[in-house]
Copies of this chain bind each other. A is one copy, B any other.
């Protein structure tokens, strides 16, 4: 089968690799109908850490179940399913508490062990706990929006939940990537009165406004911090959605959070350890992590199906598998916001 393999910095190739297949009795095999490229895929794209045989890429997908192992009881052949970016057994105490991304029997897609989703097919470990069957056609117009439940919409929601967005608060979203934009949707959905988007890419800022952002801060670093303070009576934002993971993004988040406020981190951390003293004296809460998107599908799906939220608008380009390498280039150059893949 054909799949996306990253071999080095800025070196993404479409290659023929052995077909994905059931390995464990709890596995399912899906034919990928939609996948996409994630902002987090750009970390290795720009700074590849050596994997001897390259790295299979992709961790977001919708697909059709082609086969199931003998211990799969809830997922059936022929179902269209959302695949969250992490797999999980769905039955342990940690999954029951909604932290599926920390499931002791779980893990993440995008390795030789699990396979990557930017491919024709994929083996899904712990299929019963991982996959979420949806009752829509394979080419439904909602497909882009549904695909975001695999990662970015659930991740933006996690940033909003863990930064404790609630009715009436001022939320600030650090980062205008797809996750940040979904964070705007989530903050509005949870009742934030004011939503400050921090970025400088006009088309993205326009989309943020369409999603509910009330204020735009284009400055960076200390100037951005000063601007958010100015907008918030000197106090800062109650909820800061840190949707990047870079050193400067975290520094900005720490600088704009209000005393007693919360930072919801969902960007993969690329920063130094966090100052424990300054955050203490300001009673700042630091939360977040890999979003348990599987746990959030149930809550978010009705809003997607009924069109109350439109996270599918983050996709601004669609490619076939052959277009994936150029999709990486385009996202990295910020020519494309988020690239959908139809293998």
Q: A residues near B, CB below 8 A? A: 93-94, 97-99, 101-102, 104, 162, 233-235, 238, 250, 258-260, 262, 265, 268-269, 271-277, 279-290, 292
Contacts and interface: CB of A to CB of B under 8 A. Distances in A.
17 contacts: A93-B235, A101-B283, A102-B282, A102-B283, A265-B276, A265-B280, A272-B276, A273-B274, A279-B289, A280-B288, A280-B290, A281-B290, A283-B289, A283-B290, A285-B286, A286-B286, A286-B287
Contact of A273 (B94, B275, B281): B275
A230 to B, nearest CB: 15
A231 to B, nearest CB: 14
A276 B274 contact: yes
B99 A283 contact: yes
A311 to B, nearest CB: 22
Given A99-B260, A283-B288, 11 more contacts: A93-B235, A94-B259, A101-B283, A102-B283, A104-B234, A250-B276, A273-B273, A273-B276, A274-B276, A274-B286, A279-B289
A302 to B, nearest CB: 24
Contacts of A104: 234
